[in-house]
Chain A
Amino acid sequence: MVQMGFYINSQLCTGCNACVVACKDKNDLDVGINFRRVYEHTEGGYGKSNQGITQNVQTFFTSISCNHCDEPKCMENCPTTAMYKREEDGVVVIDHDKCVGCRYCEWNCPYGAPQYNEELGKMTKCDTCLDLREAGEEPACVAACPMRAIEFGPIEELREKYGDTADVRGLPSSSITKPNLVINAHKDASK
């Protein structure tokens, strides 16, 4: 099995949210449901000195969707087995014929990936744009990023190219679910 994953170059990410909007548009997501989200992490503050006001504020952005983890807590805890990993590419998807809409996966995903759809009464999440990929295209978030800060592909290849950092400031520990995520950390984001 080839395990697929995402590479996020936080050095390039400007927090423009184009990936979020492209994902919403592609998946026709209602307000409040975001398969991909951009998290802003800000530290520091302002101080007064003789020279006036000085600041040491640092801000960076991390774009996160489902990381199609090696040990997905959502799948382990789903009472219905609706959440499962595809054998062919390790992508975590939801079988809507089984999902009961209990939202327990929400409490178990460190990255906030499963999103409840009130209208369906079921959980929904990033499936790496399976239909686009079958048509030979990139996932919508990858294609929409103006900074080319997101890549999608076999995680082994991504790790070979970019290393294996998945722990940066603002993200939960990668030891919880072993995400298939590689991040080029922003200069202020290294843990």
Chain B
Amino acid sequence: MHEWPLLIFTITMQAAIGGIFMLWFFQLRNRNKETLNMFHLFKIPLIVIALLSLVGLGASFAHLGSPMNAMNTLRNIGSSWMSREILVTGLFIGLACVNAAWALYRKKISSWLLLVATLVGFVDVYCMAAIYSNSLIGPWNSIHTFLSFYGTTFILGAVLAVALLIPTLYKQKMELEAKQFLKIALITVLVGIGFHAIGIALFPATMVETSIIESTATAGVLSSYQGMIASRWVISVLGIALLGYLVLSSNKKYLVNLSFIALLIFVMSEGMSRYVFYVLGA
């Protein structure tokens, strides 16, 4: 496995995109609640999301053999999905930073900026998946790639937003809002898991036969990663159970710590899923 930079890039970018989406959704649901100070609530999350997307940018450079030529990657927008992805990723990173800068400078949140960043982010996830599904690598050349990337976006976005918002909500005694948001996050995670599950169910039916000379058979590669695939699902189920506990529990003592543990659990499970994705092709 030599695609670590790409693994870090896709995971961080998708977490950042999902995170922005969850923030936009939170402020949309609570826009009429005057007791909520969105600026105080979103300040740290927006900075973390901007930093996360910059980490993704750094990882994408680490993947390049000649990073000094990086600007050339925008020359083939007409036919290369990688060019398109790099353009849209750049736009998203710019918007993530603008959202954070706007909040810090104006001391308020722009719901429009959050919405634009979310939409650009979702297009970016499509472009990221299109790079792989348009390649000749059999296991990537499937709708599974799209479902897996959007699944990760929803899952990591939801748990990232939980870890970033819940502590502040509890500190500000906004327990009702915290509980409501935890419920939404749990549903979002389940939607993400559903995307993964549908992708895996369709995988054998939609995967194109290997078109590259002397490439390794998918079944053979998958069989040597059985343990990792099983662990990824066990960990995901644990994560869902933990989120469920957070939704139902009235014990406030460990809720903050547990929300960070939920984030770690899902970073681990999505990271493992992406690892298997890359060993299938690279």
List residues of A whose CB falls within 8 A of some B CB.
39, 64, 73, 76-82, 97-104, 107-112, 116, 118, 120-122, 170-173, 176
Contact = CB atoms under 8 A, between A and B. Distances in A.
Contacts of A118: 65
B212 A109 contact: yes
Contacts of B63: 102
B198 interface: no
A77 B81 contact: yes
B75 A73 contact: no
A163 to B, nearest CB: 21
B212 A101 contact: no
B70 interface: yes
A170 B74 CA distance: 36
Contact of A171 (B74, B76, B140, B213): B213
A170 B67 CA distance: 36
Interface of B: 63-67, 69-70, 72-76, 79-83, 86, 131, 134-137, 140, 211-214, 281-282
Among all A-B residue pairs, the 4 with the closest Cβ atoms: A101-B65, A121-B65, A80-B72, A79-B82
Given A76-B80, A109-B212, 5 more contacts: A82-B72, A97-B69, A107-B135, A121-B66, A176-B136
B80 A110 contact: no
A116 B65 contact: yes
Nearest to A103: B65
Contacts of A64: 213
B136 A108 contact: yes
A101 B66 contact: yes
Given A102-B73, A109-B212, A110-B213, A77 B80 contact: yes
A79 B76 contact: yes
B136 A79 contact: no
A102 B140 CA distance: 17
B65 A122 contact: yes
B66 A79 contact: no
A184 B137 CA distance: 28
B211 A173 contact: yes
B213 A100 contact: no
B135 A80 contact: no
Nearest to A80: B72
A110 B134 contact: no
25 contacts: A39-B213, A73-B136, A79-B83, A79-B86, A80-B69, A80-B72, A99-B65, A99-B66, A100-B65, A100-B67, A100-B69, A102-B65, A104-B80, A107-B140, A107-B281, A108-B135, A108-B136, A109-B212, A112-B214, A120-B65, A120-B66, A121-B64, A121-B66, A173-B211, A176-B211
Contacts of A109: 136, 212
A102 B82 contact: yes
A121 B214 CA distance: 24
B114 to A, nearest CB: 29
A121 B69 CA distance: 11
B19 to A, nearest CB: 26
Q: Which of B70, B74, B135 has its CB near the most chain A CB atoms (within 10 A)?
A: B135
Contact of A79 (B73, B137, B213, B281): B73
A122 B211 contact: no
B215 to A, nearest CB: 9
A149 B114 CA distance: 63
Contacts of A172: 136, 211-213
Given A110-B213, A170-B213, A172-B213, A104 B82 contact: yes
A100 B135 contact: no
Contact of A110 (B67, B70, B81, B212): B212
Given A79-B76, A79-B86, A102-B73, A107 B136 contact: yes
A91 to B, nearest CB: 19
Contacts of A108: 135-136
B80 to A, nearest CB: 5
A30 B171 CA distance: 60
A102 to B, nearest CB: 6
